[in-house]
């Protein structure tokens, strides 16, 4: 029990974070691509394609953060102070881009909220990348408390992760637009997706090459035997997916690009998990070091196992309800 529970919880939180990254990723990505729309009607269309979903998507972020507190309070209590500034900047960015959904529709000054939506989306994505990078490169811990400085996270690697995530979300957003819109917006998104794919692949390659060089434990994980025998499919499948995505973007496929991009994200995420497991606060604390007591993990697990399928069911229902493509000029309520 003491051994299994933290693993189960790590898997659950890992899933919540993955769902967050994919789901909020596409609506943040639409925000990143907002300035490229030609007119307000196209911006209406782009926003409408994500408007019924963004609030639910962002709830996964609360589940990820809340889940971390529930299941691994010691990790939550170290990571949050360590990432203090990027976390606060991310939250404020989400405030601006979140209210922009509603404010933009009732405002006289649309350009202002267009800007808030775009800038907030970019900055939120960038901050999330920095938090991710900051976590991978490790946190200074002494006596089970954060013992580093306010800007420990600010390294070239973390900035690279920030840029990568902005590009990654933009790729998700563009393939979402291919799937969910029609007309000029979809055509432009297809063009943008190709360019973004190249950028994302460059970023993935940079992160994959840099991390084993810089961090001994990551090199050990991937290149020691027999690990390598099991892990070599990860980069190979990633490459195959990227190749498929490039081809499907060229053909008139609507759903395949988004699905493939989700696949790319899952593999990239899996790569990072493989690099870091079982450390939750690299390089010192594992999931077992930071876990809540079994009584708390079980109490929460029972509810989660019952409620999560129900939640997923009604989320799927809403996505199904708002199926189909959104037209240019389609607005709101």
Partner 1 sequence: MDIDPVLLARIQFAFTVTFHIIFPSFTIGLSAYIATLGFMWLRTDDERYHRLMRFWTTIFAVSFAMGVVSGIVLSYQFGTNWSRFSLVSGNVIGPLIGYEVLTAFFLEATFLGILLFGFNRVPPWLYVLSAAIVAIGTATSAFWILSANSWMQTPAGHEVRDGIAYPVDWLAVVFNPSFPYRFAHMLNAAYLTTGFVVIAVAARYLLAGKHIEDAKVMMRMGIGLMAVLAPLQLFIGDQHGLNTLKHQPMKVAAMEGHWDDGKPADFHIFAWPDEKAERNWFEVSIPRGSSLILTHSWDGPVPGLKAVPPDQRPPVLNVFFGFRIMLAIGFYMIAAALFGVFLWWRDRLFDTDWYLRILSMTWWSGFVAVIAGWVVTESGRQPWVIFGLLRTADAISPVPAASLLGTLALFVVCYGIVFSMGIYYINRLINKGPQDRVLDDSVGLPNRPLSAAEPAARDAIGRGG
Q: What contacts 125, CB < 8 A, 6 or more positions away?
A: 25, 28, 29, 32, 162, 165, 166, 169
Structure tokens at 67: 């889940």
DSSP code of 325?
P
CB of 76 to partner 1, least distance (A): 5
CB of 194 to partner 1, least distance (A): 26
DSSP code of 35?
G
Answer for which of 40, 152, 184, 254 binds partner 1 (CB under 8 A) is 40
Answer for which of 23, 87, 166, 287 binds partner 1 (CB under 8 A) is 87
Residue 57 half-sphere exposure toward CB, CA atoms < 13 A: 17
Give, as ranges, the residues between 304 and 333 that touch partner 1 (CB under 8 A). 304, 307-308, 311, 314-315, 318, 321-322, 324-333
Structure tokens at 260: 């493939």
Instruction: Please report whether residue 84 would count as binding partner 1 according to CB under 8 A.
Output: yes
Return the H-helix or E-strand segment holding 279: strand 279-281
Give, as ranges, the residues between 280 and 309 that touch partner 1 (CB under 8 A). 292-293, 295-296, 299-300, 303-304, 307-308
Measured from the CB atom, is 167 or 285 closer to partner 1? 285
Instruction: Please report whether residue 92 would count as binding partner 1 according to CB under 8 A.
Output: yes
Q: Return d(Cα 113, Cα 120) in angstroms, integer.
A: 10
Q: Return d(Cα 150, Cα 322) in angstroms, integer.
A: 44
CB of 118 to partner 1, least distance (A): 16
Q: Give me the count of residues in the chain.
A: 333
CB of 206 to partner 1, least distance (A): 29
Give 165: exposed, middle or buried? Use CB within 10 Å, 0-12, 13-18, 19+.
buried
- Segment lying near partner 1 (by CB under 8 A), choices 94-102, 188-196, 232-240, 242-250: 94-102
Answer for which of 32, 78, 130, 172 binds partner 1 (CB under 8 A) is 78
Measured from the CB atom, is 62 or 195 closer to partner 1? 62
CB of 30 to partner 1, least distance (A): 16
Helices 294-321 + 4-32 axis angle, to 10: 30
CB of 252 to partner 1, least distance (A): 17
Of 116, 112, 134, the residue nearest 124 (C-alpha): 116
Instruction: Please report whether residue 20 would count as binding partner 1 according to CB under 8 A.
Output: no
Cis peptide before 278 (omega within 30 of 0): yes
Instruction: Please report whether residue 147 would count as binding partner 1 according to CB under 8 A.
Output: yes
Binding mask 195-224 for partner 1 (x = CB under 8 A): ------------------------------
CB of 197 to partner 1, least distance (A): 27
Instruction: Please report whether residue 14 would count as binding partner 1 according to CB under 8 A.
Output: no
Contact criterion met (CB below 8 Å) for 106 and 61: no
Measured from the CB atom, is 93 or 208 closer to partner 1? 93
Give, as ranges, the residues between 47 and 76 that touch partner 1 (CB under 8 A). 48, 51-53, 55-56, 58-59, 61-63, 65-67, 69-71, 73-74, 76
- For residues 130, 136, 138, 139, the Cα torsion angle rounded to the nearest 10 degrees is 50
CB of 270 to partner 1, least distance (A): 25
Q: Return d(Cα 49, Cα 102) in angstroms, integer.
A: 14
Q: Return d(Cα 93, Cα 117) in angstroms, integer.
A: 9
């Amino acid at each position: 029990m003491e051994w299994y529970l933290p693993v189960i919880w790590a898997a659950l939180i890992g899933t919540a974070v993955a769902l967050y990254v994919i789901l909020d990723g596409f609506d943040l990505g639409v925000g990143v691509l907002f300035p490229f729309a030609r007119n307000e009607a196209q911006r209406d269309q782009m926003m409408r394609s994500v408007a019924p979903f963004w609030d639910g998507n962002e709830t996964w972020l609360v589940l990820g953060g809340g889940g971390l507190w529930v299941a691994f309070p010691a990790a939550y209590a170290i990571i949050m102070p360590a990432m203090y500034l990027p976390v606060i900047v991310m939250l404020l960015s989400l405030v601006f881009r979140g209210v922009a959904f509603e404010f933009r529709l009732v405002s006289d000054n649309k350009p202002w909220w267009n800007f808030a939506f775009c800038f907030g989306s970019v900055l939120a994505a960038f901050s999330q990348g920095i938090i991710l990078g900051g976590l991978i490169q490790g946190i200074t811990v002494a006596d089970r408390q954060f013992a580093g400085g306010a800007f420990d996270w600010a390294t070239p690697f973390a900035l690279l992760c920030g840029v990568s995530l902005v590009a990654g979300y933009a790729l998700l957003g563009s393939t979402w637009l291919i799937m969910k819109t029609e007309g000029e917006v979809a055509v432009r998104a297809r063009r943008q997706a190709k360019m973004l794919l190249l950028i994302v692949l460059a970023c993935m390659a940079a992160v994959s090459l840099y991390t084993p060089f810089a961090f001994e434990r990551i090199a050990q994980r991937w290149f020691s035997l027999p690990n390598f025998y099991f892990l070599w499919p990860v980069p190979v499948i990633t490459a195959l997916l990227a190749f498929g995505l490039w081809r499907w973007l060229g053909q008139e496929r609507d759903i395949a690009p988004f699905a493939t991009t989700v696949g790319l994200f899952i593999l990239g995420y899996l790569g990072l998990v493989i690099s870091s497991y079982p450390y939750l606060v690299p390089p010192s604390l594992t999931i077992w070091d930071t876990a809540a007591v079994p009584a708390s993990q079980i109490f929460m697990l029972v509810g989660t196992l019952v409620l999560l399928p129900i939640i997923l069911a009604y989320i799927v229902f809403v996505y199904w309800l708002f199926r189909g493509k959104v037209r240019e000029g389609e607005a709101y309520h």
